Copies of this chain bind each other. A is one copy, B any other.
């Protein structure tokens, strides 16, 4: 059961946007599992909005890559293949590594401070039970880098890419050892350190390694399942 959508749920004026939020959340929390069919009428009944709004919301989620439309059959929660995940992580590594360089060049000291705060916030959520929250905190870290690098287009694209593999990220996070979680945070701290020293080469290299490491864990999950 997903929540009924009320008129005063969020600060957005359109019902469409609130519906998108509810459905996106339901997908990211795996209330709807990958491959699961999303029947319009069912969703309309469960959320209390009309089929029209559901369709519009699903269109947007399709644009974000979270659901896929199969002509004549309907909407399905996107099932990420190993190959696709590999490509997504590859693009992320490319963009985020390059953005790390830009961040070094363009970010203010305040940006770096904010980054450190965000990293610590992510570190504070370190129990396997709150994997999604942890992933979202890591997203916030990445968002700060992108913003500090002064490229909003890149920020948005990477955000979409991350959302598409959030499913994998929560799985890997849940099954991760305490040791691995420690390593992850250590890498992030080292990246922040590189930023503090304004070492572009190091920041770029560490960022790439960080993402390639995530990719490897994701591949492990995909190939064992």
Residues of B near A60 (CB, < 8 A) are: 59, 63
Q: Is A72 in contact with chain B by the CB < 8 A criterion?
A: yes
The contact string, 1 if C-beta is below 8 Å from chain B, for chain A 81-97, is 00010011011001100
CB < 8 Å: which of B59, B72, B94, B151 contacts A90?
B151
Q: Is A14 in contact with chain B by the CB < 8 A criterion?
A: yes
Chain B CB count within 10 A is highest, among A71, A84, A90, A152, for A90
A56-B59, A71-B13, A94-B95 known; A87 and B152 CB under 8 Å?
Answer: yes
The contact string, 1 if C-beta is below 8 Å from chain B, for chain A 149-166, is 011111001000100000
Residues of B near A71 (CB, < 8 A) are: 13-14
How many copies of the shown chain assemble into the complex?
A: 2
Cα(A59)–Cα(B98), bound, Å: 31
Q: Is A134 in contact with chain B by the CB < 8 A criterion?
A: no
Q: Are B87 and A91 within 8 A (Cβ)? A: no
Q: Are B87 and A151 within 8 A (Cβ)? A: yes
Q: Is A169 in contact with chain B by the CB < 8 A criterion?
A: no
Residues of B near A152 (CB, < 8 A) are: 84, 87
Whole-angstrom distance between the Cβ of A170 and the nearest chain B Cβ: 20
Instruction: Tell me the chain A residues, 148-188 only, with Cβ under 8 Å from chain B.
Output: 150-154, 157, 161
Instruction: Tell me the chain A residues, 91-150 only, with Cβ under 8 Å from chain B.
Output: 91, 94-95, 98-99, 102, 150
Residues of B near A154 (CB, < 8 A) are: 87, 90-91, 94
Cα(A13)–Cα(B73), bound, Å: 12
Q: Are A95 and B91 within 8 A (Cβ)? A: yes
Whole-angstrom distance between the Cβ of A9 and the nearest chain B Cβ: 15
Q: Are B13 and A91 within 8 A (Cβ)? A: no
